[in-house]
Structure 1
Amino acid sequence: MTDTMYSDDFLGRLEASLRAALPRWDLSPESDVKLLTISENATFRARDAASGRELVLRVHRPGYHSRAEIASELAWLGALGGEGVVATLTPVPLADGTLIADLDDGGVTRHAVAFELVAGKEPAEGEDLPRWFRELGAINARLHAHAKGWKRPDGFVRKRWDYDAMLGEVLLWGDWRAGLGLDGDGRAVLEDVAAVLKRKLAAYGTGEDRFGLVHADMRVANLLVDGDTLSVIDFDDCGFSWYLYDFAAAISFTEHEPYVPALQAAWIEGYRTVAPLTDEECAILPVFIMLRRMLLTAWVASHAETPTAQAMGEAYTQGTVALGRAFLETHGRAAS
């Protein structure tokens, strides 16, 4: 991605191409269209004043997810919502019954999908957050149980979030070694951390009981609280990974905060109300937290033009090194 993706010209062009496609979802081209977020994708909210209909529209960036991958995400999302596993977004078909629209963005084809609007707001930091993480643990347990038993449709394909994809040879979100402000000493620390993670993850393994289809990005920004209901949105990064990685993703960008142990305890408590979680599994959670932190350090560097990455900056990389030092004190060094 480049800085032009975040220019007024780019956003205006993208909104114009989306507005032209609104009738395909039975929305007026004169609908009020508002940009909600832009990161990997651009997400808009469209409201048709004449009909009162409102939709959330996600325009995918090219070169990341294929049409088949997007269709697979929507298939799982539809199954989860239809079976009442989790409160989430409902995909909305176009007039022809399909779920994915193609938009022309200056000769580049972009895929777009629509969802029904879900009420709620992001849970705030504070004394209520452990309550919602307890609920999130139960939701995760139900998601994982569903993933283990769900018969995936033919052609189902999603990315694999394993060590190689995050820190090894594939690097879906970039190289942590390019971390903003990372110096030689910090790189040496994180090289050691990466080696320890590789060893521990190999020992933990990828058996069917511990590795499968997960949300993979269930951070607070992707949660909505409405009364007593916790909804989970944005399955854009769902894929195959360790089930316990879902907790690490849930504390994205806050791994260093002093309240994380309380969130972890609440998540474990909630998970165990639905499914067993062994002491061995609980003990390896710090490994997944460190793995996610390393991955996000790479993401911040490779997406430096995004508002989220700009808010993190070099301080996030420095925090990763500090967490890495503490991790090595507890979990040993690569040669040990």
Structure 2
Amino acid sequence: MTGIYDDDFVYRLQQGVSQLAPRWGAGTDVSVRLLTLSENATFLLEQPGKDPLVIRVHRPDYHSRAEIESELSWIQALRASHVVTTPALIPLDDGSLIASFDDQGQTRYVVAFAFMPGKEPDADANLIPGFELLGATSARLHQQASTWPLPTGFSRKTWNFDSAFGSQPLWGDWRAAPGLSAPDQSLLQRLCDQLQQRLAHYGASADRFGLVHADLRLANLLVNNDQLAVIDFDDCGFSWFMYDFAAAISFYETSPLVPDLQQAWLRGYRSVRPLADEHIQMIPDFILFRRLLLTAWVASHPETATAAAAGHETYTAGTVELARQWLRQQQEDTQ
């Protein structure tokens, strides 16, 4: 199994963060340890007598500096308007927010965040009330994004059919999924073709498509008592608003809790912002869109703990079964 985050690469990133530590006001007596490997590498920088910092080292050749700056500008706007609880950005000694270091001739971009207490929600029945809160949070994010004037030069990726499944897919080709047989590939191609048609018909007008977090899964939520914080805006970009629910159930799409989670999310959403039934009816499509996209991600990020936890070939098989059920439902609906 291959991937960019081998031990040597992670060690080099860790050394780069250590060298940058003084620029965030840290002394020489610091500890830098790996927290997570996903799209990026995230480290915890600790030193005696000071609050820890969460340091994100960006994956090479994914986001440009302008895209990172745009993400940070949205975070600042959200914090300033108290739309969502999310960690503060920690500036460098010159006031800038993006650091960098050279890694074997390539520039690695680095951002620091304040450490925020809390834990990832558990994927059990206790999650249902939390999804009502998440739905309200999602609605506030969408409401803010619908009225916020984008800063000059604002640049973020677009999560639509072409960027997910076109000739240059952002997260790789789902056809490379481990354990995908020829018959199952044909079935997923049918899913892909029908999703393309249905999403084109649904459209991307301003009442349904805009700036979204795009990765509100459990790993990017922190619960502290009755407070919900959202972290990791690294995938924020332009997509359908209902895609945020599909992202929220990432890797739990087959759970029997999903219908209850959806109803709770919708209750929370509608407590903040109106939502027409035509958008709700598209949620199953976005769940399959996200699942197929994640199937490509698991295939292209095999070294990550997230891909391992998903089960590689097991995840592929689950995608095929979900696609089979979705296609069957589409056929029944047209009869």
- Quote how far apart the aligned CAs of 1:4 are: 5.2
- Quote how far apart the aligned CAs of 1:12 are: 1.9
Q: Structure 1's 3 and 192: CA in aligned 2 closer, same or farther, altered over 3 A? A: closer
Q: After superposing the two structures, state which structure 1 stretch, 233-242 or 99-108, moved more.
A: 99-108
Aligned to 1:238: 236
In the alignment, which of 200, 203, 208 is matched to residue 201 of structure 2? 203
The reply on whether 1:6 has 2:6 as its aligned counterpart is: yes
The reply on whether 1:74 has 2:75 as its aligned counterpart is: no
Which one-letter code corresponds to 1:17 in the other structure? G
- Quote how far apart the aligned CAs of 1:34 are: 1.6
Aligned to 1:48: 47
Aligned partners of 1:32 and 1:47 also within 8 Å: yes
3-state SS in 2 of match to 1:212? strand
Aligned partners of 1:181 and 1:317 also within 8 Å: yes
Aligned partners of 1:251 and 1:260 also within 8 Å: yes
- Quote how far apart the aligned CAs of 1:332 are: 2.8
Distance in 2 of aligned mates of 1:228 and 1:184:
48
Distance in 2 of aligned mates of 1:330 and 1:3:
37
Describe the superposition over 1:168-194 as per-residue Cα deviations: whole angstroms up to 9, x where unpaired: 223000111111100011011111111
Which one-letter code corresponds to 1:317 in the other structure? T
Aligned to 1:186: 184
What does residue range 91-240 of structure 1 map to in structure 2 within 5 Å?
A: 91-240=89-238
Q: CA RMSD in A?
A: 1.5
Runs of 4+ in 1 over 4 A off after TM superposition: none
Aligned to 2:22: 23
Describe the superposition over 1:288-315 as per-residue Cα deviations: whole angstroms up to 9, x where unpaired: 0000000001111111122211222101
What does residue range 287-326 of structure 1 map to in structure 2 within 5 Å?
A: 287-311=285-309, 312-326=311-325
- Quote how far apart the aligned CAs of 1:2 are: 5.0
Q: Structure 1's 215 and 116: CA in aligned 2 closer, same or farther, altered over 3 A? A: same
Distance in 1 of aligned mates of 2:140 and 2:35:
29
3-state SS in 2 of match to 1:111? strand
Aligned to 1:250: 248
Aligned to 1:34: 33
Which one-letter code corresponds to 1:171 in the other structure? P
Which one-letter code corresponds to 1:6 in the other structure? D
- Quote how far apart the aligned CAs of 1:10 are: 2.2
Distance in 2 of aligned mates of 1:29 and 1:67:
28
Q: Structure 1's 198 and 114: CA in aligned 2 closer, same or farther, altered over 3 A? A: same
3-state SS in 1 of match to 2:36? strand
Distance in 1 of aligned mates of 2:223 and 2:187:
39
Describe the superposition over 1:62-109 as per-residue Cα deviations: whole angstroms up to 9, x where unpaired: 100000000000000011011100000111110101000011222221
Distance in 2 of aligned mates of 1:315 and 1:38:
21
Q: TM-score, normalised by structure 1?
A: 0.96
Distance in 1 of aligned mates of 2:58 and 2:324:
37
Aligned partners of 2:208 and 2:279 also within 8 Å: no
Structure 2 gap segments, 5+ residues each: none
Aligned partners of 1:161 and 1:241 also within 8 Å: yes
Structure 1 gap segments, 5+ residues each: none
Distance in 1 of aligned mates of 2:138 and 2:37:
26
Once the two structures are aligned, what percentage of the paired residues are identical? Answer: 53
Aligned partners of 1:217 and 1:249 also within 8 Å: yes
- Quote how far apart the aligned CAs of 1:6 are: 2.4
Describe the superposition over 1:194-238 as per-residue Cα deviations: whole angstroms up to 9, x where unpaired: 111011100100001111000000100000000110000000000
3-state SS in 2 of match to 1:268? helix
Aligned partners of 1:27 and 1:53 also within 8 Å: no
Distance in 2 of aligned mates of 1:32 and 1:38:
18
